[in-house]
A and B are shown apart, each in its own frame.
Chain A
């Protein structure tokens, strides 16, 4: 069950002192915290008037960062300019934590329909002139009474305090935020794309062996590849060495009498080879990078080649 509980309201003034609050409070800002004007603008709606506010105050505001607010009164607009930092600093000086503040209002929008002046603090009073609430020292005018703060029915015109407005402009904050959000979106989409590509790649990798009708594991396939590579190397050597032997320029009477290939060894017998011709055969085998053993007896020559 929810209860509508009326929160205590205080009139925030530069000179007043306040007790500490344990619960949330509403704050009515003294006119010393804002600049106010009643103006007639060539626009119909508040949202259009909002855009014109900085130019209305540009000549009268001291240097600083300001926020603006407006509402309509009859055909005119009541326009406000206020310094967020000044309000925040005052709250801080008075020991009022922002988290304890429910809402902040302008005295201009809350104190109305008063016939004479009202005392708002020990030293100051307010009165209305031409629809504008004016703050004056007490001694200037004769007061008709004291402000009954709890009797005020708060309006809907709440002041929004920009805590970081004095450090970074709200627009810049939005821009920085937008850039960060765009970065997040880009990174996230890149993450999703990479993740999808990875899944597809893992899937394709898993299907390679199946596609090529190979064994299911890399280990088995590597062992098979080694076996076939050995066969390929051996068969290539056999053909290469036979080609070298057949290309030997033999002299008349020199003949190949025997070729035997078995157990990775090739044995070649030459007949009618003179001793001085042995060097030529040796040289030829060396030049082709063939490792061999040679044995010559009379005019016979036996060459043993490792495959």
Chain B
């Protein structure tokens, strides 16, 4: 007559349910935290990756600048160009409005890092230019 008391069995099941619920609750909280971390990390990675593509691709920036300077519109101007490992310095003693507009239009509409810029009016139609682009 040593039968298992159904009350004990029921209590055991309730204890088991409580235990699993508690563990499930902890796990759900852990999951929410992990999901937040995932979202945060993904947002950071997306933002950083986009900015890196714009500012950290040194080869692309240099190549693109060379392309601008070799454009037929700017070829006639005598630019003093100095390429260093991380920057380009451009100097023009005398530049007309057309050349200035073309060059500045390209640089300001692009995502180049302008480190220094000096434009000095020489006459109504001419300016001197000093420019440093970083990458």
Contacts and interface: CB of A to CB of B under 8 A. Distances in A.
Interface in A179-235: 180-181, 183-184, 187-188, 190-191, 194-195, 197-198, 201-202, 204-205, 208-209, 211-214, 218, 221-222, 224-225, 228-229, 231-232, 235
A208 B41 contact: yes
B64 interface: no
A259 interface: yes
Given A228-B48, A258-B120, A164 B6 contact: yes
Interface in A160-191: 161, 163-164, 173, 176-177, 180-181, 183-184, 187-188, 190-191
B7 interface: yes
A188 B6 contact: no
B97 interface: no
Nearest to A160: B3
Contact of A224 (B31, B37, B48, B121): B48
Nearest to B124: A255
Contacts of A155: none
B24 A257 contact: no
Taking residues whose C-beta sits less than 8 angstroms from the other chain, chain A's interface range is: 35 or more
A175 B23 CA distance: 26
B114 A255 contact: no
A153 interface: no
B21 interface: yes
Given A228-B56, A261-B114, A261-B118, 8 more contacts: A163-B5, A187-B20, A194-B27, A213-B49, A258-B118, A258-B119, A260-B117, A260-B118
B16 interface: yes
Contact of A177 (B9, B16, B23, B113): B9
B104 to A, nearest CB: 8
- Most chain B CB within 10 A, of A104, A190, A213, A261, is at A261
B84 interface: no
Contact of B113 (A202, A225, A231, A262): A231
Contacts of B30: 198
B60 interface: no
B126 to A, nearest CB: 12
B35 interface: yes
